[in-house]
């Protein structure tokens, strides 16, 4: 019999604001470049899941910090949070991804800092 394996811890988009502001955590967006450019959370750091799976490291700003991992809906961020945890990082998944972020009325900006959209 195999032991039950839980996935990475999860937080809500509302929790992210507190953790990034009060605790210095980093919101890590693992969507691909076109998705990121169309719209992302202000202050987020971009690290596509495809690059992480290929062995890329974290962006310098995110190294050694608590990570709150987000994608569009939550599937890729769970995978990325698990991968990063296995690599020794402290990473949690943001429930519902950028869809939940935008639905909560939190800001989304495009690659130029204007109002963005979730692709």
95 is catalytic: no
Catalytic-labelled residue, pool 41, 45, 71, 91: 71
- Calculate Rg over the CA atoms of the chain: 14
CA distance 64 to 25: 10
Taken in order 108, 111, 117, 119, the sign of the CA dihedral is: negative
Active-site residue list? 71
């Amino acid at each position: 019999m195999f032991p039950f394996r839980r996935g990475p811890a999860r937080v809500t988009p509302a929790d992210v604001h507190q953790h990034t502001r009060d605790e210095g955590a980093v919101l890590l967006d693992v969507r691909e470049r076109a998705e990121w450019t169309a719209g992302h959370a202000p202050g987020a750091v971009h690290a596509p899941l495809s690059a992480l799976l290929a062995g890329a490291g974290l962006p310098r700003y995110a190294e050694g910090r608590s990570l709150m991992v987000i994608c569009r809906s939550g599937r890729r961020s769970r995978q990325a949070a698990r991968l990063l945890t296995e690599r020794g990082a402290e990473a949690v998944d943001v429930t519902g991804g950028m869809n939940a972020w935008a639905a909560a009325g939190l800001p989304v900006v495009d690659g130029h800092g204007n109002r963005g959209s979730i692709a």
